[in-house]
């Protein structure tokens, strides 16, 4: 990272890309990106690394951690951009049925029941951080501050909750 930050060394960036590029792409795929979007996000990540290399400090952790944080934040930004797309002109939209299909409603209720049951398997502490993270969309630091626990504990509880929920809910994707 020092060679990139101080000397603007393209070869060092290429080496970093070779070491971490596939792992960053795998992370993007895990975060729900398509293959093409994942590749674009890898490029954006390493472009940001090139531009922000001077901001990296060894005091704050490993370079790979810093790079994965950049990648995760870029993916979050992309989610936000996608959710802010303008709505279609309502006059051009045709509505097939104002009432949802009965089988769709039953399926949705089954999914909700499965998620609710899965959440009940978590400890009260894990349920609380999952609720604050997903339902209220709070950043981890704000969750830690709100419930008065260290940031690392919030992250640990979320990770353990994911590990427990994933096998129960992975077929819902």
End-to-end Cα distance, the chain = 37
Q: What is the pLDDT of residues 28-45, one digit of tens each?
A: 888 888 889 889 999 999
The answer to whether 33 and 75 have CB atoms below 8 angstroms apart is yes
Q: Give the CA angle between residues 16, 72, 55 to the nearest 5°.
A: 55
Q: What is the mean pLDDT of residues 48-75?
A: 88
**Total number of domains in the chain:** 2
For the chain, state the CA radius of gyration. 20
CATH label of the domain that carries residue 139: 1.10.10.10
Q: Angle of helix 10-30 relative to helix 35-52, nearest 10 degrees?
A: 140
Higher confidence at residue 34 or residue 95?
A: 34
Q: So what's the pLDDT on residue 122?
A: 92
9 pLDDT exceeds 90? no
Share of the chain above pLDDT 90, in %: 34
pLDDT for 99-131, tens place per residue? 556 677 788 888 888 888 888 999 999 999 988
Domain span at 155 = 111-172
Give residue 140's pLDDT. 93
Mean model confidence pLDDT for the chain: 84
Q: How far apart are CA 159 and CA 168, in angstroms?
A: 15
7 within some domain: yes
Task: Let me know: does 154 contact 140? Beta carbons within 8 Å.
Answer: yes
**92 part of a folded domain:** no
Whether 34 is covered by a domain: the verdict is: yes
Classify residue 64: in a domain, yes or no: yes
Query: Do residue 16 and residue 63 come from a single domain?
Result: yes
Give the global pTM: 0.48
Q: What's the rounded Cα separation, in Å, for the pair 50 and 14?
A: 10
């Amino acid at each position: 990272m020092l060679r990139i930050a101080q000397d603007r060394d393209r070869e060092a960036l290429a080496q970093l890309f070779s070491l971490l590029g596939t792992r960053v792409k795998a992370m993007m795929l895990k975060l729900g990106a398509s293959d093409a979007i994942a590749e674009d996000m890898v490029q954006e990540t390493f472009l940001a690394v090139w531009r922000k290399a001077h901001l990296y400090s060894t005091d704050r952790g490993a370079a790979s951690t810093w790079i994965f944080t950049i990648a995760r934040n870029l993916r979050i930004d992309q989610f936000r951009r996608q959710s802010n797309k303008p709505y279609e002109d309502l006059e051009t939209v045709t509505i097939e049925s104002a009432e949802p299909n009965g089988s769709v409603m039953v399926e949705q209720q089954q999914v909700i029941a499965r998620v609710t049951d899965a959440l009940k398997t978590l400890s009260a502490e894990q349920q609380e951080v999952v609720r604050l993270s997903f339902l209220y969309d709070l950043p981890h630091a704000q969750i830690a501050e709100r419930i008065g626990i260290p940031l690392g504990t919030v992250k640990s509880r979320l990770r353990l909750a994911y590990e427990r929920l994933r096998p129960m809910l992975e077929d819902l994707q």
